[in-house]
Structures are given as structure tokens and as C-alpha cells.
């Protein structure tokens, strides 16, 4: 039999419903409903069907669907947030030389040894290199003054940066500058959840202290300084020995005024055609140049310096002397830019020939070409003419002149297309000597700006 109130199944002869408590009227039992498939779940309390409650079935389904959608969305958001908050972003170490790839908007967050964002720091770009290896000028870019938050900074904060790899330092209050790993800026959208994509955030933290076998902390790794600090060290050494860029002249009462550079006479960062910046300097060979006109071929030393990343130091690539003219003028001289982009420093250019310093055909740097002019003197002392040698091979005069023209030097086969910096000349070229000294001072200023504080590490 069944309860007439709620429809629950009851044993025959029951007086009250065991489900709803209703009194039974003792009439004939209602016929059992047709059987239907039931879910294999725990039985639910039966209630009398009520139309009003059935009408609520739609909203309940909608709410359930909405909950399912919200749960799915929450799961997606939670997965995303785990990548951002629940799981630490990638961490790199101060001083590491392992390059890190970021987008322009990737947040770079410097932290201290406790794991907290550094309270206040200055961020500075020290050097930039394009994908083709050429230098990116960072000397005019601003510094970032950052108050410590977990948002850090991004490379976009510096403005429009060219794609490339940058050397970046972080200087906390009362501390020396620290290099973060080389930062490779790529034009991609950051995504914490996509393999190979730049991260949305990178943490830079102090390196874990290495330990010796005895358990004592090992000595810290040498501080990295970079190309411009290495070049600045060269310049400072020269100035300490020879003096700063200085203009010297004969007395005003002299009937023939002469002007020349003393100390660090010339300094410039030069691209010889491969995009790499090398430091070229000229300086007085000895202190006597301060008192006399530098009319001899060895009055100025000229040097080319490169940067060796492995040793983090400048290396001398070539040393020689200045070029000079028949009139006794002294120069630092460069030939014309060739079709392949190479340019050569003309070492010791004179009537006896010259050396061409730069990139050889195999890409190595150093003495790339040499031209020698000699005199053919007989055993009896008679002059029989000149001899010409190009790269060790005897040539005729026309070939010699053609070679000079090829490199942009003045010859009967072509007008000069060279670049000269005057080191010493008469009063008519005083402004040229001053301009050369200005180049030297300007180069020192750029190096001091980019790396002056790094030499104190």
C-alpha cells in the first residue's frame, strides 16, 4: 500500500505513514505506479508532487549550470593565478652571465637576501648589443629610480629600446652596482603558461653562497664590469701617466705659432666594420712633448684596444705611432669606408709607406695590409728610383698608387677620402687640434657616464 499524502510505500495494514506521519484512512491501497529506471544513488525522501516546486526546476538547473560554469572559470583562473602567485616566477642570480630572455613588459624584480623586494634602487643600462653583433648606443638613455615593490621594472620603462641584449645594473642604497644577467629583449608577448614564451615576471636575487668542503663560505666571484669599464680603465691609466687632454702651443710672441695635443691626445670608440666597438687612443709618448713641438715620427703612441669577455678586461690589439706629413703635422688617420663596410686605421703613414690596421679578410683584427716604399740604391750609392711593396709583394708604381686610392688615401689615381684627426699643426689648424682634444674629452665623458662607478667595485 502507499501513503495517500506523500506516496511513500508502506506495509499492508499500516495506520500512519512512516515518511510524512499522515494518518491513513484505511481505504483500498492505491495501485502501485509503473516502475521506472532509478539512479544508483542513495534513496531520497519522497514527497507529494507539487506543481509549484516543479516550476522551480528550471532556475535550479540554471543555477547549477551557472555554478558549473563558475567552477570551470574559477579553475581556469586558479590555474592562471598559480602560475602568477601560487608558483614563484623564474629566479636568476645577480652576477650571473647566463642570458635571460624577456619581453619589453616583463617585470624584473630585484630582491634582497631575505627575499623581499629591494627598498630603493637605481637601474642603469651599461651596454647594448644588436642581434647582428653591432653596438647599441645606450649613453643617452635615462636611469630608473625605483622604490621597492614586487612590480619591479621593465625594459619598456627606458623608452623605445632596440631589440638586442643589454647589460643592466641595479644599485641599491649605499651599495655598489650589481649586474643582473644579460637581458635579451625580444618582441614577443609574455606568457607564464606557454613554453618558450618570455615570462611575465623574473626575480633577481643574490646568489646562494657557495661552500667549501669544510663548510665555510667560498670567496665571492669577481665582480663583472663590462666593456666600457675596461676601456675606461685604459683611459684612466693613460691620463695618470701622460696627462688629461691638453692643448699646448709655442709662445704667442713666436713668429711661427704651433699647436699640439698633449696627454691623452685622442680617444674614440670605433667600429671597424664588424659592429664591435674598439677603443683607439693616441697619447704623448713621453713628457718632453709638453715642452717641444712633436715633430718626430714617434712623438705619439697610437693603440687599439678590444674587450675580452672571458677575462672581463681590455686587451691591446695593436700599437704603433701616428701618421705625419712632410710639413711635420701629426694625425690619427683612417682610410675610406670600403664597400664591405670595413675601415682601416692608417698606422705610421709617411713617405716610406703605411700600415692598415683593422679587420683582415678572415675576420681577424690586427695588421691587415702593409705598403712599403723604399729606395733603390746601387752599390756605388746611385739612386735608381723607388721600390714598392704591397703586402710583401713587389709591385710597380701604378699598383702602389692604386692601392692607396683603394683605401681612400690621396694618390694620382684618386682624391683622398680619409678621416683625419689633427694632433699637431701650425696656427692655421689650431681649431683642428682643439677638435681632436674635444673628441678625446667627449669619449672619456661617455665612458665615465657608463662605467665610472663600476671601477670602484
In which band, very low, low, confident or very high, does the pLDDT at 33 lie, cut at 50, 70 and 90? very low
Write out pLDDT tens, residues 290-325: 999 998 888 999 999 999 999 999 999 999 999 888
Grid coordinates 691626445 are at which residue?
265
Q: What confidence score (pLDDT) does residue 54 get?
A: 31
Take residue 236 and report the three cell numbers written for it.
684612466
What value does the mean pLDDT take over residues 369-381? 88
Selected residue with higher pLDDT from 253 and 180: 180
User: β-pairing, 135-136 with 164-172?
Assistant: unpaired
| Residue 34 included in any domain | no
Take residue 417 and report the three cell numbers written for it.
677620402
- 254 shares its domain with 125: no
Non-local CB neighbours of 415 within 8 Å, separated by 6+ positions: none
Q: What confidence score (pLDDT) does residue 144 get?
A: 96
Take residue 362 and report the three cell numbers written for it.
678572415
- 283 shares its domain with 180: no
Write out pLDDT tens, residues 46-87: 333 333 333 333 333 232 334 334 444 443 344 344 444 445
| Residue 163 included in any domain | yes
In which band, very low, low, confident or very high, does the pLDDT at 194 lie, cut at 50, 70 and 90? low
Q: What confidence score (pLDDT) does residue 375 get?
A: 86
Question: Mean pLDDT, the chain, as a whole number?
Answer: 81
Angle at Cα 306 formed by Cα 179 and Cα 422, nearest 5°? 120
- 238 shares its domain with 385: yes
Which long-range contacts does 314-320 make (Cβ < 8 Å, 24+ apart)? 314/230, 314/231, 314/233, 314/234, 314/279, 317/278, 317/365, 317/366, 318/345, 318/347, 318/357, 318/365, 318/366, 318/367, 320/347, 320/348, 320/355, 320/357
Q: What confidence score (pLDDT) does residue 52 get?
A: 33
- 238 shares its domain with 120: no
Domain with 362 in it: 227-456
Cα torsion 242, 307, 169, 240 to 10°: value is: -10
Percent over 70 (pLDDT), the chain: 75
Q: How far apart are CA 108 and CA 87, in angstroms?
A: 16
Q: What confidence score (pLDDT) does residue 122 get?
A: 96
Q: What confidence score (pLDDT) does residue 317 get?
A: 97
- 278 shares its domain with 413: yes
- 166 shares its domain with 126: yes
- 106 shares its domain with 250: no
Write out pLDDT tens, residues 316-368: 999 999 988 877 899 999 998 998 999 999 987 666 788 999 999 999 999 99
Q: What confidence score (pLDDT) does residue 418 get?
A: 85
| Residue 413 included in any domain | yes
Tell me the sheet residues that pair with 356: 346, 369
- 270 shares its domain with 347: yes
In which band, very low, low, confident or very high, does the pLDDT at 192 lie, cut at 50, 70 and 90? low
Residue 102: pLDDT above 80?
yes
| Residue 120 included in any domain | yes
| Residue 18 included in any domain | no
Task: Of 220, 228, 221, give the one whose Cα is nearest residue 97.
Answer: 221
Q: What confidence score (pLDDT) does residue 8 get?
A: 61
Q: How far apart are CA 58 and CA 55, in angstroms?
A: 6
Q: What confidence score (pLDDT) does residue 455 get?
A: 84
- 174 shares its domain with 240: no
Residue 139: pLDDT above 70?
yes
Q: What confidence score (pLDDT) does residue 170 get?
A: 95
- Domains contained in the chain, number: 2
Q: What confidence score (pLDDT) does residue 140 get?
A: 87
Q: Which residues of 372-384 are buried (b: 16+ CB within 10 A; e: fewer)?
A: beeeeeeeeeeee
Looking up residue 118, the CATH number of its domain turns out to be 2.60.40
| Residue 370 included in any domain | yes
Write out pLDDT tens, residues 240-259: 999 999 999 999 888 889 99
- 198 shares its domain with 247: no
Task: Of 374, 371, 361, give the one whose Cα is nearest residue 411.
Answer: 371
- 401 shares its domain with 257: yes
The whole-model pTM stands at: 0.74
| Residue 122 included in any domain | yes
What value does the mean pLDDT take over residues 26-41? 39
- 403 shares its domain with 266: yes
| Residue 404 included in any domain | yes
Amino acid at each position: 500500500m502507499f501513503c495517500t499524502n506523500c506516496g511513500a510505500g508502506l506495509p499492508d495494514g499500516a495506520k500512519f505513514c512512516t515518511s510524512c506521519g499522515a494518518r491513513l484512512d484505511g481505504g483500498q491501497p492505491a495501485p502501485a505506479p509503473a516502475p521506472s529506471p532509478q539512479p544508483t544513488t542513495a534513496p531520497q525522501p519522497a514527497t507529494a508532487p507539487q506543481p509549484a516546486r516543479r516550476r522551480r526546476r528550471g532556475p535550479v538547473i540554471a543555477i547549477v549550470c551557472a555554478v558549473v560554469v563558475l567552477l570551470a572559470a574559477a579553475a581556469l583562473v586558479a590555474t592562471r593565478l598559480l602560475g602568477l602567485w601560487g608558483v614563484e616566477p623564474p629566479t636568476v642570480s645577480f652576477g650571473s652571465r647566463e642570458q635571460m630572455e624577456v619581453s619589453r613588459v616583463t617585470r624584473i624584480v630585484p630582491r634582497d637576501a631575505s627575499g623581499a623586494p629591494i627598498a630603493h634602487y637605481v637601474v642603469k643600462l651599461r651596454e647594448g648589443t644588436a642581434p647582428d653583433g653591432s653596438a647599441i648606443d645606450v649613453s643617452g638613455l635615462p636611469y630608473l629610480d625605483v622604490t621597492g615593490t614586487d612590480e619591479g621594472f621593465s625594459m619598456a620603462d627606458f623608452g623605445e629600446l632596440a631589440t638586442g641584449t643589454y647589460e643592466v645594473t641595479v644599485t641599491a642604497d649605499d651599495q655598489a652596482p650589481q649586474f643582473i644577467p644579460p637581458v635579451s629583449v625580444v618582441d614577443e608577448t609574455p606568457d607564464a603558461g606557454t613554453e618558450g614564451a618570455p615570462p611575465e615576471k623574473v626575480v633577481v636575487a643574490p646568489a646562494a653562497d657557495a661552500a667549501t668542503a669544510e663548510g665555510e663560505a667560498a670567496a665571492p666571484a669577481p665582480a663583472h664590469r663590462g666593456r666600457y669599464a675596461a676601456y675606461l680603465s685604459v683611459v684612466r691609466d693613460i691620463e695618470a701617466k701622460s696627462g688629461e687632454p691638453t692643448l699646448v702651443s709655442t709662445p704667442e710672441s713666436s713668429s711661427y705659432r704651433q699647436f699640439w695635443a698633449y696627454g691623452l691626445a685622442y680617444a674614440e670608440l670605433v667600429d671597424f666594420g664588424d659592429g664591435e666597438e674598439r677603443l683607439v687612443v693616441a697619447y704623448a709618448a713621453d713628457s718632453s712633448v709638453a715642452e717641444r713641438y712633436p715633430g718626430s715620427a714617434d712623438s705619439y703612441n697610437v693603440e687599439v684596444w678590444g674587450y675580452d669577455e672571458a677575462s672581463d678586461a681590455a686587451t691591446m690589439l695593436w700599437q704603433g705611432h701616428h701618421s705625419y706629413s712632410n710639413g711635420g703635422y701629426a694625425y690619427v688617420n683612417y682610410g675610406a669606408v670600403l664597400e664591405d663596410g670595413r675601415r682601416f686605421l692608417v698606422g705610421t703613414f709617411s713617405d716610406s709607406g703605411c700600415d692598415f690596421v683593422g679587420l683582415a679578410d678572415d675576420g681577424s683584427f690586427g695588421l691587415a695590409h702593409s705598403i712599403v716604399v723604399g729606395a733603390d740604391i746601387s752599390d756605388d750609392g746611385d739612386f735608381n728610383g723607388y721600390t714598392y711593396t704591397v703586402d710583401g709583394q713587389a709591385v710597380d708604381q701604378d699598383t702602389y698608387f692604386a692601392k692607396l686610392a683603394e683605401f681612400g688615401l690621396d694618390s694620382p689615381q684618386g682624391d683622398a677620402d680619409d678621416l683625419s684627426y689633427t694632433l699637431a699643426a701650425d696656427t692655421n689648424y689650431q681649431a683642428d687640434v682643439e677638435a681632436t682634444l674635444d673628441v678625446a674629452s667627449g669619449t672619456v665623458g661617455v665612458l665615465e657616464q657608463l662605467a665610472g662607478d663600476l671601477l670602484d667595485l
